[in-house]
Amino acid sequence: MDLLTIMDMPENMMKEVISKAIELKKEGNRNRRDLEGKVLISLYEKPSTRTRLSFETAIYNLGGRSIIMDFKSSQLSRGESMADTARVLSRYGDVISARLFKHETIEELAKWAEIPVINALTDREHPCQALADMQTIIEYGKEKGKLVYIGDAANNVANSLMLVAARYHMHVVLCCPAHFPPNERYVDAARKTGAKVEVVHEPIKAVKDADVIYTDVWVSMGMEAEAEERMKQFAPYQVNSKLLANAKPDCIVMHCLPAHRGAEITDEVLDGNNARAVWDQAENRMWAQEALLLKLLK
């Protein structure tokens, strides 16, 4: 089985993986042998710090090994097809993780791969981030609460997160500029779970009674041409102290990182106590991916 999108992940499997991640973290054993001899091949077309390192540490913690293949230094950059590459990688590895610009490219990779393929971020989804984020929300005891996503609610992180949170029946509020609406397919899928999913445009009103405020960059990788326009349009959606003062005092602030300090979030908020979960989110990428690798390979 592949994990290309949260859409395709059965709800019980998703919850099982998140519970397992919590359990693995509690046990804290970083010398497991469950995946001894297994090889993770990771393909990167875009930069990464957390995803790359958390996948590597996850497979090492489970006794397996990791190989990173950079797109630029591979024959993909000289025109070798993804179909041929997928078949070759399948002969060396046991599982592939891939961070690619276009979601269609990972679909092509998965179509031809003979081993499981995990989406390590595409322009459409960031499912591994959402699993770790939900783990974090549960660890902070906020999984029955109101999650307000502020900013670019149409990006990869928002798409995956809204579906995972909806499956836990959180009250999901997407707060964004009217002319940068969320992806309707994801909003519809999230609403189909029965969860309350709202799309709103006024940040101060949106964060009232929020248990979780989540933000991400306004200019995702690959959108650089739109940077100037986006920085202008999203400016009123900054997560700053004034906004936070309108949420519950114990509200947690989340960010997948990397953050553009001074743009979508201020230093004051990111370095403050409400945002301490941000560093747990980064750590939880490792535990959630351990749980996922175990599920796909054991």
Tell me which residues touch ligand CP (CB under 6 A). 48-51, 121, 129, 256-258
Task: Give the span between the Cα atoms of 262 and 193, in whole angstroms.
Answer: 35
Q: Is 230 a catalytic residue?
A: no
Determine if residue 79 is left, alpha or beta; phi over 0 gives left, psi from -120 to 50 gives alpha, anything else beta: left
Residue 272 contact, options ligand NVA, ligand CP, none, Cβ 5-8 Å cut-off depending on partner type: none
Choosing from 2, 123, 128, 129, the catalytic residue is 129
Q: Is 275 near ligand NVA (CB under 6 A)? A: no
- Are the CB atoms for 117 and 96 separated by under 8 Å? yes
Is the omega angle on the peptide bond into residue 116 within 30 degrees of 0, that is, cis?
no
Piece of 140-148, 149-157, 235-243, 284-292 that binds ligand NVA (CB under 6 A): 149-157
Q: Which of 216, 255, 281, 289 is catalytic?
A: 216
Cβ at position 29, least distance to ligand NVA in Å: 28
Report the nearest approach of ligand NVA to the CB of residue 280 (Å): 16
- Report which of 237, 205, 211, 100 is spatially closest to residue 147, judged by C-alpha positions: 211
256 is known as an active-site residue? yes
Of the candidates 91, 130, 77, the one whose C-alpha atom is nearest the C-alpha of residue 256 is 130
Give the count of beta carbons closer than 10 Å to the beta carbon of residue 90: 18
Exposure string for 1-35, b = 16+ CB within 10 A, e = fewer: ebbbbbeebeeeebeebbebbbebbeeeeeebeeb
Terminal-to-terminal C-alpha distance of the chain: 12
Binding mask 216-245 for ligand NVA (x = CB under 6 A): xx--xx------------------------
Contact between 157 and ligand NVA per CB under 6 A: yes
Q: How many residues bind ligand NVA (CB under 6 A)?
A: 9
Q: Quick one: which of 43, 82, 118, 256 contacts ligand NVA (CB under 6 A)?
A: 256
216 catalytic? Reply is yes
148 lies in the binding site for ligand NVA (CB under 6 A)? no
**CA-based angle 288:292:294, to the nearest 5?**
120
Amino acid identity at 83 = A
- Residue 156 contact partner, candidates ligand NVA, ligand CP, none, CB within 5 to 8 A by sort of partner: ligand NVA
175 catalytically annotated: no
The residues binding ligand NVA (CB under 6 A) are 121, 155-157, 216-217, 220-221, 256
Active site residue ranges: 99, 126, 129, 216, 256, 285
